[in-house]
Amino acid sequence: MLRTALRNVLAHRARLVMTALAITLGVAFVSGTLVFGDTVTQALRGASARNFADVAVSVQARVRWDTDGTANGGRSTTLTAELADRVRTVPGVTSVRPTVNGTATLAAKDGRPLNADDSWQNLATNYAPDPRQGGRDSRYPVSAGRGPTADSEMALDRRTAEKAGYALGDSVRFATTGPTLTKKLVGTVDSDDPRVTAGGSLALFDTGTAQQLFLRAGQFNELLVASAPGTDNQELTDRIRASLPADGLTVTGGAQLAREQAQRIAESTKQLTRMLLAFAGIALFVGVFVIANTFSMLIAQRRRETALLRAVGALRGQVVRAVLAEAGLLGLGAAAAGIALGTGVAAAMRPLLDAAGAGLPDGPLVVSTGVFGWSLVVGVGVTVLAAWLPARRAARVAPVEALTTVDQAPPKRGLLLRTILGGLLTGLGVLTVLYVSTQRSGGDGNLETAGLGSVLTLTGMIVIAPLLSRPVVRLAGAVATRLFGVSGRLAEENTLRNPRRTAATASALMIGLTLVTGLTVTGSSTDSALEAAAVRGLTADYKVSNATGGGIDAALAAKVAEVPGVAEAVPVAESSLAARGQGGTLTGADPQRLAKVFDLEFSSGSLADVGPGRVALSAQLARATGLSKGDTFQGTLGFRDDRRLTVVGVYRPNPNLGDALGTLDDVLPYARGTLDGILVKAASGRATSGLEQGVRAALGNSPLLQVRDREQLTKAQSGEDGAMLDMMYGLLGMTVLIGVLGVVNTMAMSVFERTREIGLLRAIGLDGRGVRRMVRLESVVISLFGAVLGIGTGIFLAWGCGSLSRASLPGYELVLPWARLALFLLLGLVAGGLAALWPARRAARLDVLRAIAAQ
């Protein structure tokens, strides 16, 4: 029986090629994900280890913020030069590198801010030359020029300098938390810090300048300690810890720091790997339909052969094992090809991502034995599992069927039990999704319920698909018959001949289109809500904000107001507010001026009623606290001062304002004297083009300060989600491709199965063109059926589960992107036509006499 299984694989190579390809793609998805994840993790760990290669012990200081309510508040630590000298005297210490850490956002040479949206990655530190290293800093090898030695100089990492367009001797503009500064670029360095290689920037200053920018004179954030060869670093860590004050300092071994950073890196890459593996699982699930359909058709075509085996003594168990062995051999070969393809994809992903700006560190391609093992297990396991039911069906072939002809169709199985089960699953899933649609909370419980409802609904649709195929195919067939005559009629009848096969083929395509449609509808609805929220109530033409989330100097509002063409420049500040046990934010602005750049909807009171000690509350905060217009309450501002406040109005919640609204004078002292933003209104009849440059100039062209118009504010809300959606579209595209391969496989095997029938059709007058048209229409009808089910199911699931977004996105409403949905339907039709090219050509080229004589 094993020889029989091997012979069957070799004898039906052409009929198994599409199934093998589906398995190969699924396994390639899995192996490529695992190899890429291991490669990136190992490279990041290597970079982390190199970053701490010379660090035996790290002494880190906790940063304190001076919150004196003035603009002079800053950062300070307990780690001083005196403590650094104390560490140098500890036995075993060879050198101590005092470090000052901060962030500095650069402006490129052409003036545009560099990486302003991710300013936390824009690292800045001091360049600490070591006399024993020839006056160089061993952590940052100089690639060109030299390190900074004066307060007018700085250095950049080589990648950032190239990206920004700076050369040695250029003046580099940057900002930390205050106004724009300019220093001369005297050198570029190389860095293995994963934060820098992942797309961040690195700015280096001499130690005094770094302290002036980020701390206080004589203070440090960290001491990096090097040890003598042969020193026990754990004992050295304990000795240093004992020599320093216990408060405000943390002493950690360098090896532990490297492990901790590597662990954080591994956790971050693990999330990406999990997401990719989830999509790989979806692709393999779709592949199950292709495999099961293939073996079902093969067994139906080999009924007489199987009956002969039974007649000569083969037991049912032997037949089952033979079919499963055939599936195992197919899965083994396809899995091996998938591993090779996945490894190649993983090798190509890193340079592609680097070209897109990912900045992954260099490292060897890591292909572990686990990748081979899991990929083989997945490939062979999925194939054998999918072939199990067809194998059981083959074992039930009676020996007497050896006397029948190959043209006799296998006995048809009723659909009653399947229809009942599918109806129950679909009904339960629909009811669950309808329940979810009534919920407004996106908590874990509701999300799990939504996931369960979606799985039940999709599973039910797969089970009940044979029943649904008849009305959809009849409708499509009527159109095909009217347009193409007898070829359309034959295509309709062929599609309805085996509803199970049609449903299985269409289901593979339906799953991918369900996910793509659900993702598209949810994404479009979310984007629409985000876009509306980004500018809701805002009538200003520009909004000025700090990219780091820090404040804006209050004096800048007056400078912006003096820019020609600016009618209003309204400063806005924010502070914390606690009322009756509920926390929130209090926005401060001049009520009269705010009315010119903002349109708030009040359910009681008005903006004009806001004044000193008089605040308006959002409806959400009013409900939570039980306060209404006219009530007086004790509010805590800035986490420290209690004030008696009076509610003078309640307004509709707005994402562009806080939970409460007061005057600027009431709020500014609790906002550390800085503004949260400036709302700018252009003069009536004045074109806004060119006004942005004037506002930027008034702000000192600081790379930290963003000046965004309404369109840019809208794009900023949906830009990150759009990039994620594009990546998910690409991943789901693999699923749709496997579904299309299923259509190709079904049509090719159907042509082989109907060889004699096609020959008879040719003999009675149907020409080759008519045969090609018949096969193509059959493929298009199957693909159309899958597309209709997928698009319809995806819309329903997006409608029901999308309601959970209303908790975090109050303006969320279902938005159907009709153009994209029509495109998906068109893609289904095109996929059906393309899938039939090879089978239709093969059918049309059959020799009539040989086809009629086929047994």
Q: What is the pLDDT of residues 440-493, one digit of tens each?
A: 776 778 888 988 999 999 999 999 988 888 898 888 888 888 888 888 888 888
**239-251: average pLDDT:** 86
Q: Return the higher-pLDDT residue of 721 and 242.
A: 242
**29-41: average pLDDT:** 81
**696-719: average pLDDT:** 79
Return the pLDDT at 822. Answer: 92
Q: Is the pLDDT of residue 497 over 90?
A: no
Mean pLDDT, the chain, integer: 82
**88-96: average pLDDT:** 88
Q: Tell me whether residue 208 is exposed, middle or buried, using C-beta atoms within 10 angstroms of its C-beta: 0 to 12, 13 to 18, 19 or more.
A: middle
**4-27: average pLDDT:** 69
**75-83: average pLDDT:** 85
Q: Is the pLDDT of residue 652 over 80?
A: yes
Q: How far apart are CA 315 and CA 255, in angstroms?
A: 63
Bridge-based pairing of strands 641-651 and 614-618 is parallel
Measured over the CA atoms of residue 255, residue 259, residue 260 and residue 261, the dihedral's sign is positive
- Buried b / exposed e over 704-721, threshold 16 CB at 10 Å, is bbbbbbbebbbeebbeee
pLDDT category of residue 12 using cuts at 50, 70 and 90: low
CA 405 to the chain's CA centroid: 55
**785-802: average pLDDT:** 91
Q: Which string of DSSP letters, residue by residue, matches 501-567?
A: HHHHHHHHHHHHHHHHHHHHHHHHHHHHHHHHHHTTTB--SEEEEETTS--EETTHHHHHHTSTTEE
Q: Is the pLDDT of residue 313 over 70?
A: yes
**799-807: average pLDDT:** 81
Return the pLDDT at 355. Answer: 60
pLDDT category of residue 685 using cuts at 50, 70 and 90: low
Q: How far apart are CA 832 and CA 779, in angstroms?
A: 5
**64-69: average pLDDT:** 55
Q: Token pair for residue 334?
A: 């396809």
Q: Is the pLDDT of residue 411 over 60?
A: no
Plot region of 281 (φ>0 → left; ψ -120 to 50 → alpha; else → beta): alpha
- Give the rounded percent of residues in the chain with a pLDDT score beyond 90: 21
Q: Token pair for residue 572?
A: 């806005």
Q: Token pair for residue 806?
A: 């209303």
CA 372 to the chain's CA centroid: 27
- Give the rounded percent of residues in the chain with a pLDDT score beyond 70: 87
Q: Return the higher-pLDDT residue of 425 and 43.
A: 425
- Spatial contact of 619 and 694, defined as CB atoms under 8 Å apart: no
* Percentages of the chain per state (helix, strand, coil), in multiples of 5: 60, 15, 25
Return the pLDDT at 183. Answer: 94
Q: How far apart are CA 449 and CA 451, in angstroms?
A: 5
Return the pLDDT at 723. Answer: 57
Among 293-297, 520-524, 594-598, which stretch is predicted with the lowest mean pLDDT?
A: 293-297
pLDDT category of residue 425 using cuts at 50, 70 and 90: very high
**622-632: average pLDDT:** 93
Q: How far apart are CA 304 and CA 405, in angstroms?
A: 7
Domain boundaries, the chain: 1-47+270-411, 101-214, 470-536+711-855, 548-702
Q: Is the pLDDT of residue 431 over 80?
A: yes
Return the pLDDT at 570. Answer: 93
- Buried b / exposed e over 790-804, threshold 16 CB at 10 Å, is bbbbbbbbbbbbbbb
Q: Is the pLDDT of residue 109 over 50?
A: yes
CA 697 to the chain's CA centroid: 37
Return the pLDDT at 203. Answer: 95
Which of 392-406, 625-639, 711-725: highest mean pLDDT?
625-639
Cβ-based neighbour number of residue 726 at 10 Å: 10
Return the pLDDT at 233. Answer: 81
Return the pLDDT at 305. Answer: 75
Return the pLDDT at 625. Answer: 93
Q: Which string of DSSP letters, residue by residue, matches 351-380?
A: HHHHHTT--PPP------HHHHHHHHHHHH
**623-631: average pLDDT:** 92
Cβ-based neighbour number of residue 106 at 10 Å: 27
- Spatial contact of 397 and 306, defined as CB atoms under 8 Å apart: yes
Q: Token pair for residue 808?
A: 């975090």
CA distances from 828 to 191, 328, 443, 631, 789 (A): 49, 32, 36, 61, 11
**419-425: average pLDDT:** 90
Q: Return the higher-pLDDT residue of 276 and 143.
A: 143
Instruction: Give the dihedral of Cα atoms 698, 701, 703, 704; nearest 10 deg.
Output: -20
Q: Return the higher-pLDDT residue of 486 and 8.
A: 486
Return the pLDDT at 92. Answer: 87
**186-196: average pLDDT:** 83
Return the pLDDT at 73. Answer: 45
pLDDT category of residue 205 using cuts at 50, 70 and 90: very high
Return the pLDDT at 688. Answer: 63
Q: Token pair for residue 154?
A: 């700085």
Amino acid at 195: R
Among 186-200, 445-459, 559-573, 614-628, which stretch is predicted with the lowest mean pLDDT?
A: 186-200
Q: Return the higher-pLDDT residue of 202 and 248.
A: 202
Return the pLDDT at 357. Answer: 54
pLDDT category of residue 647 using cuts at 50, 70 and 90: very high
Single pTM value for the model: 0.71
Q: Is the pLDDT of residue 70 over 50?
A: no
Return the pLDDT at 69. Answer: 39
User: Residues 6 or more apart from 78 whose CB is under 8 A from it?
Assistant: 61, 62, 245, 247, 248, 249
pLDDT category of residue 68 using cuts at 50, 70 and 90: very low
Q: Is the pLDDT of residue 404 over 80?
A: no
Return the pLDDT at 447. Answer: 83
Among 44-48, 196-200, 362-366, which stretch is predicted with the lowest mean pLDDT?
A: 44-48
Task: Give the model confidence (pLDDT) of 369-400 as tens digits.
Answer: 888 888 888 889 888 888 888 888 778 877 76
Q: Return the higher-pLDDT residue of 44 and 90.
A: 90
Return the pLDDT at 729. Answer: 73
pLDDT category of residue 47 using cuts at 50, 70 and 90: low
Return the pLDDT at 796. Answer: 94
Return the pLDDT at 590. Answer: 93
